[in-house]
Amino acid sequence: MTPLALRDTLACSVIMIGTTDWRCDLIQLLRRAIRLALLISVASVTTTCSDSLFPGGQAVQASLDVNGLLGAAQNLPIPIDSVVIELRRVSDSTLATRVGIDADSIDVAADGTVAIDVEVTLLTDPEEFYLYIAVFGNDEVWFEVRDRVTIAAADVTTAEFEEPLYVGPGADATELTISLSDTTVTGGDSLLITGTVYEGQTAVDGAPVWFESSDLGLVPEPTQVGLNQAWVVAPAAVNGSVVITGTALTRESSLSTSGTLAFFPRPDRVVIASGDGQNMNPGQTAAEPLVARVLDAAGDPFTRVDPATVTSDIDGYAQTTLTAGSSPGAIQVTASGDGLTSATFTASVSDITGPANVAISAGDGQTVTVNTDVPVAPAVLVTDGAGNPVEDVEVVFAVESGDGSVTGASPTTDATGVATLGAWTLGTAAGTNTLSATVSGLSPVAFTATGSPDAPDALVIVSGNGQTADAGTVLPQPLVVAVQDQYANGIPDVTVDWVALNGSVDPTTAQTDASGQAQTVWTLGANSQSQTASATAASLQGAVFSATAVFQTPSILLDLTAADRIPVGGSADLQITLTAPAPVGGTVVLVTSDNPSVVAVQSPPDVLIAEGQTTGQIGLDGVNPGTTTIRATAAGFNDGTLVVEASSLVLSLPTTLNVPFGGTASIPVQISTPATAGGEV
């Protein structure tokens, strides 16, 4: 190999090459390199010298093995045109030598190495240099090496330098995409795949991408087109798939992404599976569908027909329904596909007359109130095999479900082939009613009608009545009522109002559901054993629920016996009730008022309830207008409380009044204090 002697003043020129046999060898060399490693380290630097160092410097020959450097290009479709090698002295950064070599000037040694000779003058022995190597193609720098090497004037000197760094388009890439995800093609078809390199959100023009097949036995290595595209060809007669991987180099490593290419053999022929040789009446539909099967050349089921009226399934089957025409005779049906051997079905149409078909003419799908007639009487059309109406055919209508009734159940067809039922009265149960219409020898047809509920007639308890729970707690079951019509059909969308006379309910208003039911949750009150709640809806009589409150610890219950309030200056008796009998020796209940200036407790304030008894009472006096809380306490019992109002105006009515039959009577009304100016109404 002849050395190249260059002066410091040599311009940095790059000799570009065209397409030559050597370039093809170089590309093959690069492709062989990728199968060894992602990045192959560059080889060593060797120098030789025959004389000792003398003043002014000594010229030596340096041979650079760049086989690994060029191999760093791997399978990338990079247009390698030339290599530039530059050495600068570490001592003063001056240029020692620069060599530009095109592919025509590079030889491949017998051992497969690629070496470039340079000549450099040593000012010291040894001398350290900055090494710069660049690989060019189409005016782009694709790879660089930047390192420091030491060259000595010895017979043979070896120095390692860094791996080449990819610096071409896409060196700072963050993402790689390929135009292949889960794609299916027919055997023998080819597909052009494109790779796109992104730096952030921006696509990089000119960034190279190469492609590989996961199974070269099924799909050969993709044929590279330009920098970032490749053709992939699917095998002609194989059902399977491969993974195609695209790879792009980056400054530090590489990016890869994959997609699956599935393929299947082309269809070959259509064969009869079932439905051949049937016999029908004119206008009738064949009892069995015509089923054809698409097979490929190997006799395996093919899952597609293109173009096709019917698409075959995963086992290659496709089917259709055959309906006879109006004329008797033979029928042929051919199943075919584009480019496939076809199959022909045969069938025959009998030569018969008379009723052949019965169909609904009118009156299907109506909705009316239960126990009423449908507005449109059901009717059917009877035709012969040619589709012509048949006159004087008896049709029998019969109720199948819904407990309704019919009149005129056996009409005959008129000149238009239509037979009309006299009337259809739906049953009393809301919901679906069905009716059949039958012509002798033919399959019946079915009518449906929906009965809707009548007007609301009653509000009934469904569940939740008569429960027992701890006072102040939620009953275990909700209170459920139903709004029903006169036939006990539930009526939806009716507003139900709930009221708890003791405790509370939630919700207080609810709409009935599709079955006509509504419900609420009842929380019992804390001061009564027997409690009630009620539900009302529309103008219906309300439904009253009862419940029993259980007191885990005996409690004291308070109630005013005379009225719900006390007149100022007047008095009333406070009823005291124990939820459990008084123990041995009796129970003393102490009664107090939170505000005696409004309502005062008469003296003495303690009430003795004898052993085994549960009731007692004490007087309260109204002092001033207002409200206060009366409290009752006793050992072993929960306290009882009652809010009491003292009013300056109390209305009194007689508790009983006798009115003679057919006569009249006056009701005496008395207020506790004189009426104010203008009177009291």
Tens digits of per-residue pLDDT, 557-612? 888 865 668 999 999 999 999 988 999 889 999 999 999 999 999 999 999 999 99
User: What's this model's pTM, rounded to 2 decimal places?
Assistant: 0.38
Q: Is 385 exposed, middle or buried (0-12, 13-18, 19+ CB in 10 A)?
A: buried
Which among 200, 206, 94 is positioned nearest to 139, based on CA atoms? 206
State yes or no: pLDDT of 400 exceeds 90: yes
Q: Give the residue, 638 or 380, on which the prediction is more confident.
A: 380
Q: Can you give the pLDDT at residue 302?
A: 59
Query: Which tokens in the block code for residue 385?
Result: 């095999």
* Portion of the chain with pLDDT greater than 90, in percent: 42
Tell me the pLDDT band of 499, cut-offs 50, 70 and 90: very high
pLDDT: is 633 or 354 the higher one? 633
Side-chain half-sphere exposure of 49, counting CA atoms within 13 A: 20
* Local confidence band at 524 (pLDDT 50, 70, 90 cut-offs): very high
Region of 201 on the Ramachandran plot (φ > 0 left; ψ -120 to 50 alpha; else beta) = alpha
Please tell me which residue, 586 or 678, carries the higher pLDDT value.
586
SS3 state of residue 45? strand
**Residue 622 has what pLDDT?**
93
State the chain's mean pLDDT as an integer: 79
Give the HSE-up count for residue 668: Cα atoms under 13 Å, Cβ half-sphere.
Answer: 6
**Sheet architecture: strand order including 495-500:** 467-470, 543-550, 530-537, 495-500, 509-511
Q: For the segment 340-354, what is each residue's pLDDT rounded down to a tens digit?
A: 777 887 877 765 668
Q: How far apart are CA 256 and CA 505, in angstroms?
A: 66
Mean pLDDT of the 505-526 span: 94
Q: How would residue 394 be classed by pLDDT, with cut points 50, 70 and 90?
A: very high
The number of angstroms, rounded, from the C-alpha of 588 to the middle of its chain's C-alpha atoms is 69
* pLDDT at residue 23, rounded to an integer: 29
Mapped onto helix, strand or coil, the DSSP state of residue 270 is strand
Residue 561 or 662, more confident: 561
Please say if the pLDDT value at position 492 is more than 50: yes
Q: What would the two tokens of residue 521 be?
A: 């949750």
How far is residue 460's CA from residue 482's CA, in Å, rounded to a whole number? Answer: 5
Return the higher-pLDDT residue of 675 and 627.
627
- Looking at residues 652-664, what average pLDDT do you find? 59
* pLDDT given at position 68: 42
Mean pLDDT of 426-442: 95
- Predicted pLDDT at 22: 28
CB 133 within 8 A of CB 145: yes
The tens digit of pLDDT for each residue in 532-548 reads 999 999 899 999 999 99
pLDDT over 80 at 646, yes or no: yes
Residues 277, 298 contacting (CB under 8 angstroms): no
* 3-class state of residue 236 by DSSP: coil
| pLDDT confidence of residue 429 | 95
Tens of pLDDT, residue by residue over 133-190, are 888 887 888 888 888 888 887 644 444 556 678 888 999 999 999 998 888 888 788 8
Confidence tier at 411 by pLDDT (50, 70, 90):
very high
Place 357 in a pLDDT band, splitting at 50, 70 and 90: very high
Residues 238-291 pLDDT 10s: 888 999 999 988 887 889 999 999 887 877 778 888 888 887 777 778 888 888
Query: Between 198 and 61, whose confidence is greater?
Result: 198
Q: Sorting pLDDT into bands at 50, 70 and 90, what band is 2?
A: very low
DSSP helix/strand/coil, 65 = strand
